[in-house]
Amino acid sequence: MKKLIDTIKNIYKIEELRNKIGNTLLFLLVYRLGSFVVLPGVNPAALDALKQQTSDGILGLLNMFSGGAFSNASIFALGIMPYISASIVVQLLTIAVPYFQKMQKEGESGRKKMNQITRYLTVAITALQAPSYLANLNNQIGTNAISGGSTFFWVSSTLILIAGTMFIMWLGERITDRGIGNGISLIIMVGIIAELPGALVGEFGSRIAQEGGGTVMFLIELILLLFVVILSILLVQGVRRVPVQVAKRIQGNTQIGGTRQYIPLRVNAAGVMPIIFAQAIMFIPITLAGFSGADSLQGFVATFSNFTGFWYNFTFAVMIIVFTYFYTAIAVNPKNMAEEMKRSGGFVPGVKPGLPTAEFIDTIMSRITLPGAVFLAFVAIMPALAMLFGVTNKFAQFYGGTSLLILVGVVLDTLQQIESHLLMRQYDGLMKSGRIKGRATSSPVSMQS
């Protein structure tokens, strides 16, 4: 406790850090208040059906990412997901389209162009999603609960939803510039945390109910949740050290400056990016269906809107494994590593410098990425497994999956930035045992920066 109090005092002494944290909290407060501002013309008292629709399933997950704004018919109902989807599309284009590859190599000017394209694409995606959301809203609460449900309502509400998403994006950028941590990631994290108290209360109520297992079962669930959190921390950080006998065979040894070192490779070099990619794609079927309830869907859309279904989770896991390799290829450049080693006079014993070293590193990365990808996929589908054992839908979301990994990753990144400010001013860090290690890669939504 004394360590915590001293750390808070040290944070307060650093004016720049104090202002950054204050700005971050202020911007996040604005976002949370906006999530309760209902669309003009919608009767807030008639939203019970919409809240029931988003209480479970994939719509419940989508509602969690928006911090409850989706079920509140808020001006922020579509949240930040359209921007994330746009960011993913642009990131994919940098791999497949030479024009975007050229922009990526132009430095700061190229990044500005790509960010501008991402914004325009965000507007386009939101403009497609907004009418679907409004159609579902109309089906759930009825025309009578929408005063003046005319063409004007549809046009004005679509424009408001677009403006709401763009405002959230702007808030995220302001947090990144003037606050602490990555703004968009913090906005997602706050939305997820906002759902945690209700999930805990709901789970506790279900356990103390008849044949629910009682308080003992609830405590067991909390212990298991703590275990999953620890696993997620290890997964997000990436395995930095492996046993020596494995390191020699897998990572190779280098001779730099006369001292033996290990090539800095990670089992999880992609961080939480793959699960963000895959989750955004898994939202597509329900979006195309107009955010309809799963009961009214059939065929392909129904199959891939069933959050606990086999094919949904199987496809989700496979995509995570594929995207892990995809983003690892972006985050780790064997050619650059080989060139850096060559310039430093380093080499891998038994491997020629240059292209052979790059091929060696690429082969090793392909091998060590597989267990990290499989582990990431397993953590991602754990909420569905938890639900099969009777855990309520909302609480099950914190047993792994996108929500928990984002929480862990964002918290570690933010604490790492705070610790960096403390260490720069000669203050003690947040941890006695060593520096906090953030994610292996950039934020899931700052791919162009």
> Which tokens go with 220?
């067991």
Stretch 234-251: mean pLDDT, rounded? 48
> Which tokens go with 145?
């609960």
> Which tokens go with 313?
């989770």
Residues of the domain holding 320:
17-424
Residue 2 lies in a domain: no
> Which tokens go with 22?
């204050």
Residue 210 lies in a domain: yes
Stretch 346-358: mean pLDDT, rounded? 77
pLDDT tier at 362 (50, 70, 90 boundaries)?
Answer: confident
Residue 4 lies in a domain: no
- pLDDT tens-digit profile of 184-206? 888 888 888 888 888 888 888 88
Q: Is the distance from CB of 225 to CB of 399 less than 8 angstroms?
A: yes
Residue 281 lies in a domain: yes
Residue 242 has, within 13 A of its CA and on its CB side, a CA count of 21
Could you tell me the CATH number of the domain that includes residue 222?
1.10.3370.10
Among candidates 337, 338, 326, 397, which has minimal Cα distance to 366?
326
* Helical ranges in 209-298 per DSSP H: 214-237, 244-250, 273-282, 284-288
Stretch 227-243: mean pLDDT, rounded? 64
Q: Is 42 helix (H, G, I), strand (E, B) or coil?
A: strand
Q: Is the distance from CB of 192 to CB of 79 less than 8 angstroms?
A: no
Residue 211 lies in a domain: yes
Stretch 235-243: mean pLDDT, rounded? 53
- CA angle 273-226-224, nearest 5°? 105
Average pLDDT over the chain, rounded to whole? 77
- pLDDT tens-digit profile of 66-83? 888 888 889 999 988 888
Q: Is 161 helix (H, G, I), strand (E, B) or coil?
A: helix
Q: Which residue has the higher pLDDT, 253 or 62?
A: 62
| Phi and psi torsions of 266, nearest 5° | -120, 150
Percent of the chain at pLDDT exceeding 90: 10
Q: Is the distance from CB of 413 to CB of 181 less than 8 angstroms?
A: yes
Q: Is 434 helix (H, G, I), strand (E, B) or coil?
A: coil
Among candidates 317, 399, 400, 296, which has minimal Cα distance to 309?
317
Q: Is the distance from CB of 182 to CB of 34 less than 8 angstroms?
A: no
Render 131-146 in DSSP notation, one character per residue: HHHHHHHHHHH-GGGB
> Which tokens go with 363?
């082969």
Enclosing H/E stretch for 147 = none
For the ranges 248-262, 273-287, 359-373, 422-436, the maximum mean pLDDT occurs at 359-373
**Is residue 170's pLDDT more than 90?**
yes
The helix/strand count (H/E) of the chain reads as: 19, 2
Could you give the number of structural domains in the chain? Answer: 1
Q: Which residue has the higher pLDDT, 410 or 270?
A: 410
* HEC readout, 238-263: CCCCCCHHHHHHHCCEEEECCEEEEC
How much is the pLDDT for 75?
93
Q: Is 90 helix (H, G, I), strand (E, B) or coil?
A: helix
For the ranges 233-247, 275-289, 315-329, 380-394, the maximum mean pLDDT occurs at 315-329
Stretch 254-272: mean pLDDT, rounded? 61
